[in-house]
Structure 1
């Protein structure tokens, strides 16, 4: 299975969590890493290149920090431009059918804040429903979430173990079959 990890962090070099995840992924030559903010610092996305990358892979992982209950701005722009009508959905839009789509998300808030009784009032599954629906619309199988909450309180040892768990998530043969 060919796996593409699209990392969308505007300051990846300053990110302890997302940078560590990325460095752990780099140890595996069967994972293609694509960093959107490094590829498009001017925000001008090469749609045909992005579509070719997606077509060449079976599993797509979107890795990002959770900003205002959503993705960073460039990832939203990427979705708007790359997942186009007639290519990703709609009439003739079947290029991503049968692929897997997963999310790897880091959050500032602790796990208990992402519960109905918590500070954020909703679970991560609920808050990421628009991305799950995007997966449905483009004909991809949505994978279970990979989330690291409370990033400010993660020890170096916990981060090391979490990064290994993340690689296992990315490489696991099939996360979508129940």
Structure 2
């Protein structure tokens, strides 16, 4: 079964990391279904039933996005609020439709990894800053996996690092 990769990037045409990851994923259409929320919903009017159907028909789901202002793009929060509804994603006998589905985050962070540490500039790891996502997916009984990240997209995105990250990203997904 294909892995669903939900891309949430408000400015993908100017992206370096996310765009390269997408190029790599597109080399394997038999393995990955790419779903770009900003392209699909430019007016941010989410087709909730379509989203639920996509989620129900995939066992592995990756949310791919840039990390800025220590969070995800706003459309991801809107998507979570509208799609993960009571009675479907949680809270009833017929809920928990994402139970045991593998879910992971794939993040391009502008800041260097050492700055995302207890002794670093921001005093928190990326895992700590993304804990609300982990809690959300655990709450709906999904199988939340450790995140994949590219650090230093703003100042340290050399062509070699970007290329390596694209191949590492595929390996990460394959090991879910």
User: What's the secondary structure of 2:104's corresponding residue?
Assistant: strand
Check the 8 A contact 2:108/2:150 in 1, yes or no: yes
Distance 2:145 2:160 in 1: 26
TM-score relative to the length of structure 2? 0.95
Check the 8 A contact 2:137/2:144 in 1, yes or no: yes
Which 4+ runs in 1 deviate beyond 3 A?
A: none
- Structure 1: where are the runs of 5+ without partners? none
User: What's the secondary structure of 1:151's corresponding residue?
Assistant: coil
Check the 8 A contact 1:2/1:56 in 2, yes or no: no
- Structure 2: where are the runs of 5+ without partners? none
Measured after TM superposition, the shift of residue 122 of structure 1 is 0.4
Q: Which residue of 1 aligns with 2:54?
A: 53
Distance 2:70 2:86 in 1: 25
Distance 1:140 1:28 in 2: 25
Q: Which residue of 1 aligns with 2:120?
A: 118
Distance 1:59 1:112 in 2: 30
The number of aligned residues is: 173
RMSD: 0.9
Q: Which residue of 2 aligns with 1:104?
A: 106
Measured after TM superposition, the shift of residue 2 of structure 1 is 2.6
Distance 1:101 1:138 in 2: 11
Q: Which residue of 2 aligns with 1:3?
A: 3
Distance 1:80 1:170 in 2: 25
User: What's the secondary structure of 2:127's corresponding residue?
Assistant: helix
Distance 1:160 1:38 in 2: 25
User: What's the secondary structure of 1:147's corresponding residue?
Assistant: strand
